[in-house]
Amino acid sequence: MLAAVMRSLGELPCVEDVPEPTPGEGQEVVRVTACPLTNLDRARASGNHPAAPTALPAVCGAIAVGTLPDGARVLFRSPAGAMAERAVTRREWCSLIPDGVDDALAAAIQNPGVSAWNVFEWRAKLRPGERVLILGATGVAGQGGRTQSARAGLARRSRGRRDHPARSARRRAARRHVRGGR
């Protein structure tokens, strides 16, 4: 089975053939279909994170999308590494992926989506009717925050990026050129 493997912290991982994962009690093997490279993965691989692996070599990645033995498509976490053809997880570490959502999209959106959710639900414990200011609302996490704040019944104010005047002038000039000088 192929996997992205860290041989030493701070070095780039290599794709290697590794043994099939063996599930422990209460674990299942997941066939991985998509795995994002997150900032957590990068920090762990550099050795600059408390959760950096202490035993090497180690399979990279903590979160992925895959298919359980019963056919369920899930977003899951795997402390033993998820950047492989197969990984182990527990059912309680899985979230079902709705039909119509692409595996790669589900893998990619989870990090900014969960980040936005954590701010509202876990960290700030905001309740319906409270106000929230979302800075950077044009980014992925900001858009997720806007959606989640609306669903939670929060009064919100959003603020996107403010373009630098020179950059805005260049964009306007480029649009005029594409439209033939109009």
Quick one: which of 145, 158, 151 has its CA closest to 118? 145
* Structure confidence at residue 136 (pLDDT): 74
Region 153-162: what's the mean pLDDT? 68
* Structure confidence at residue 161 (pLDDT): 58
Domain count, the chain: 2
Percent of the chain predicted with pLDDT > 90? 48
Rounded mean pLDDT of the chain? 85
**Final residue before a domain boundary, out of 103, 135, 156:** 103
- The predicted-structure confidence for 103-140, as pLDDT tens digits, reads as follows 999 998 887 777 777 777 777 787 888 888 887 777 77
Task: Answer yes or no: do 3 and 91 share one domain.
Answer: yes
* Structure confidence at residue 149 (pLDDT): 81
**Final residue before a domain boundary, out of 103, 138, 164:** 103
155 bridge partner residues = 131
Residue 181 in this model has a pLDDT that exceeds 80: no
Q: Which two tokens stand for residue 163?
A: 């373009």
Domain of 70 in residue numbering reads as: 1-103
DSSP-based three-state secondary structure for 123: helix
Cα–Cα separations (whole angstroms), residue 82 to 5, 17, 21, 71, 74: 10, 14, 10, 18, 13
Region 83-97: what's the mean pLDDT? 95
The answer to whether residue 109 sits within a structural domain is no
Angle 19-23-28 from CA coordinates, rounded to 5°: 120
Task: Answer yes or no: do 96 and 7 share one domain.
Answer: yes
- The predicted-structure confidence for 57-73, as pLDDT tens digits, reads as follows 999 999 999 999 999 99
Q: Are the beta carbons of 29 and 69 closer than 8 angstroms?
A: yes
Residue 15 binned pLDDT confidence (cut-offs 50, 70, 90): very high
The answer to whether residue 20 sits within a structural domain is yes
- The predicted-structure confidence for 143-152, as pLDDT tens digits, reads as follows 878 888 888 8
Please enumerate in sequence order all residues whose Cβ is within 8 A of that of 110, keeping only pairs 6 or more positions apart, or say none. 36, 63, 75
Higher pLDDT, residue 156 or 11: 11
The answer to whether residue 165 sits within a structural domain is yes
Task: Answer yes or no: do 139 and 175 share one domain.
Answer: yes
